[in-house]
Amino acid sequence: MSDIVIGTGAEAVIYRTSWLGRKAVKKHRLEKGYRHKELDQRLRAYRTKKEVNLISAARNAGICTPLVYDVDLQEGTITMQFVDGTMLKDLLRTEPMEKKEELVRKMAQAIASMHRADLVHGDLTTSNMILKGTGIWFIDFSLGNGSEEVEDKGVDLHLLKEVWQSSHAEILPLFDLFLETYKAHYDDGVQVVERIAEIEARGRYT
């Protein structure tokens, strides 16, 4: 079966593929011709390994993440479970208000668990959150990090807020529900939420 490209970024290409009969996704961090061969190898291997470790750590913290089927550090590829569901980006536009509220609560609980485990996703957009069954699955940890810092967790939420303001402006009030639920599920959440305002104030664009 030949792999089909389903996404391209500056750093990697994503393919739909299959793994021992299961629907899968293959992420390939591309070789870059401008880099010294050794540097290229080193960077791709390091980032691949880091991403896989983050996915595992998130899973251990109770977050739904794709199962990692195979890793090739030499090639810079990760083969993982294809998450067959619907992006929150779409559901937050189409579903009735009650359902949206439920989704927001679940999102907040999951992110609270992540931060409680000192994991930062790094790219909390609603395109990276998929509803599969009754759970919200998180994908694309390529910008993630392990961190205890309130600052890093604040930046994580700040990005989500910006996504909310630009893509889900009609349900802006639900962001307050998100914050309340987040704080209820994470003791240090209050500090993180306070930090968001400070991060916002640093913005340079008028």
Partner 1 sequence: MLCLGIEGTAHTFGVGICDDDQILANVMDMYRPEEGGIHPREASNHHAAIAADMLVKALDKAGASMSDLDVVAFSQGPGLGPCLRTAATAARTISLSQNIPLVGVNHCIAHLEIGRLTTQAEDPIMLYVSGGNTQVIAYTMGRYRIFGETLDIGIGNMLDKFGRESGLPFPAGPVIEKMAVKSNRLLDLPYSVKGMDVSFSGILTAALQQVKEQPMEDLCNTLQETCFAMLVEVSERAMAHADKSELVLGGGVARNKRLQEMCGIMAEERGGASYMPPPDLCVDNGAMIAYTGLIMNKAGISIPVEDSAVNQRFRTDQVEVTWR
10 lines the binding site for partner 1 (CB under 8 A): yes
* Among the residue ranges 6-14, 83-91, 105-113, 187-195, the one whose residues contact partner 1 (CB under 8 A): 6-14
- Choose the binding region for partner 1 from 27-35, 80-88, 108-116, 184-192 (rule: CB under 8 A): 27-35
Phi, psi of 76 (to 5 degrees): 75, 40
Catalytic: 123? yes
- Under 8 Å between Cβ of 16 and 25: yes
35 binds partner 1 (CB under 8 A): yes
Which residues ranging from 121 to 180 are in contact with partner 1 (CB under 8 A)? Answer: 143
Q: Which of residues 37-76 bind partner 1 (CB under 8 A)?
A: 38-39, 43
Residue among 1, 4, 21, 33 that touches partner 1 (CB under 8 A): 33
- Which helix (DSSP H) or strand (DSSP E) does residue 81 occupy? strand 77-81
Chain-centre distance for alpha carbon 109: 14
The span of 9-17, 86-94, 132-140, 166-174 binding partner 1 (CB under 8 A) equals: 9-17
Alpha helices in the chain (DSSP H): 37-60, 88-94, 97-116, 150-167, 173-184, 189-201
Instruction: Determine if 9 is a binding residue for partner 1 (CB under 8 A).
Output: yes
202 touches partner 1 by CB under 8 A: no
Are the CB atoms for 151 and 76 separated by under 8 Å? Answer: no
* 172, containing H or E segment: none
CA–CA dist 169, 171 (Å, integer): 5
Asked if 36 touches partner 1 (CB under 8 A), the answer is: yes
Nearest 5°: CA angle at 99, between 97 and 103?
A: 115
Beta-bridge mates of residue 181: none
- Comparing CB distances to partner 1, the nearer of 38 and 98 is 38
Question: Which of the following is catalytic: 90, 123, 140, 188?
Answer: 123
| Binding interface with partner 1 (CB under 8 A) | 9-11, 32-36, 38-39, 43, 143, 204-205
Q: Which residues are catalytic?
A: 123
